[in-house]
Each structure stands twice: as structure tokens, then as C-alpha cells.
Amino acid sequence: MELKQKSSDIRISSGSAELDRMCGGGFFRDSIILVSGATGTGKTLRVAEFIGGGADNGERCLLFAFEESREQLFRNATSWGVNFEEMEREGRLKVVCRYPEEIGLEEHLIDMKTCIEEYKPHRIAVDSLSALERGSMERGFREFVLGLTSFIKYQEMAGLFTSTTEALMGGASITEAHISTITDAIILLRYVEMYGEMCRGITILKMRGSMHDKDIREYTIDSSGMHIGEAFRNVTGILTGNITHNTPREIERLDGLFPEEGRA
């Protein structure tokens, strides 16, 4: 493997107009994106919208699923307003579902590369890397991810991977720690407890080569997908899970320190 991949400045849609704005205009065409969050935060929904955004633009999309069956994926996508069945029928989507433990990581990598070469997709999604990490050695898993990401970038395709955090509130996934340095963008999905109600928050932790929104924004999920709203204010500790609400005095102090950001 050599660091000789080309770099594109062409943007593609993430499948969400709100997320595109947070990313400074969408993802770069040859970027590797990691979506990290606890169970139930909407990682697979993010995958569905990523694929939907590509299919709507006439792109071929390839989904490697290691946690859910084809029927589950198609049913869930339909519940969010994304028609996987129609995309597959029209040749814009190919779904490959396998148990992670079925074969070793090397065999998985060979099979995935073969599938990519044969189908020649524009976008690739892997849901999830955490499932593939189970039972593998740290070095072997990192070599697998390096092999897959370098192959995808060499083909000038966009790749979106998901990883699961063990803690429901805050925390980082082991997968995220292993591959964060070789990804181009990291999107964090977090639960946020607000006065006895469980909300969800999204933030762009990193995006190489582009300015991006630094806020942690609330989002909701319904039958039409993910909707990103306003930034959380007067709340700290969301990413670590140690959430505290600022007192009126703290709010006044922050407003004085950062008047241009309108923190009050």
C-alpha cells in the first residue's frame, strides 16, 4: 500500500440537506466517513440516507451489512422513506449481508474487493465495522481497515462506515479509536438527557480539507428520516456523557466571553 491516492474537490450529497450544510457543502467524492454512536442513535438510518442520496443522483451504491439481514434493512429503510427495493430493481443498489464470524477478516477483505471490482459502485457503506472487530486481533483489524479504505480511495469512491459506542451517553468506540486517523470525516451521534427527556445530538468532529459546523445540534427521527435542528445551548459535557446545564450566572459569563456566538 502506498499513499498515492488522488484527491478530489468534487462534493457529493450526504443524503441530508441539513448535514450537507454542516459539512460545508457535502462530502468529498473520494472521502472515508465514520459515523459513530450508541445503539439506536440512527447510524443505519444515516447509511440509508447516504445510499438514497447517491441513488437519487443516478449513482450505484454498495452496502455491506454485518448486523442485519436484507429483509430487516429493506423494511427499516422503507420506514424512513428510502426505497431500497426500487433502487435494487433499477440496478442502483447491491446489498451483501454476512455474519462477521462466517469467515476471517482476510477472506472478508478479498470478497469485498472482488464485489467492488465487479459492481463498480460510486458509493460504499459498511454497517458496521464494530461487528467485524468482534473476535479479531487489534493489528489484524487495523490492517483490514487500512486495506479496505486505501482500496476504496484508490478507486475514487466515497465510503461510509459505522461504529458502535459501548456507552449510551458519550464515550468513544474502540473501533473509532483504531481508525479515526485514517478517516477523512467523523460524525458523532449522541444521546442527550434534557430535563428528564432523552434527545439526540449530532456533531462533525472532523472533516479534512473543509470548514464545518462546530455545533452539537439536536436531531429527530420520523417516517421521513433524520431532521437536524438547532444547536444545544447552555449544556456542556454532551460528548463525554457528563451532561450539565449551565446556571444563569454561567450563561451570563459565557455570553460575555463569546458575544458573537450568541450563547445566551
Angle (CA) 5-1-34 rounded to 5° is 65
Query: Are 98 and 160 members of one domain?
Result: yes
**DSSP symbol at 71:** H
pTM of the model: 0.86
Range of the domain at 241: 233-264
Query: Are 126 and 240 members of one domain?
Result: no
Domain count within the chain: 2
Q: How many CA atoms lie within 13 A of 256 on its CB side?
A: 6
Query: Are 129 and 212 members of one domain?
Result: yes
Query: Are 15 and 80 members of one domain?
Result: yes
Q: What is the pLDDT along the chain (264 residues), one digit of tens a residue?
A: 566 666 778 999 999 999 999 999 999 999 999 999 999 999 999 999 999 999 999 999 999 999 999 999 999 999 999 999 999 999 999 999 999 999 999 999 999 999 999 999 999 999 999 999 887 888 899 899 999 999 999 898 999 999 998 766 666 665 666 677 889 999 999 998 877 788 999 999 999 989 999 999 999 999 999 999 999 887 777 776 677 776 555 445 545 555 554 443
Residue with cell 449513482: 59
- Return d(Cα 60, Cα 92) in angstroms, integer: 4
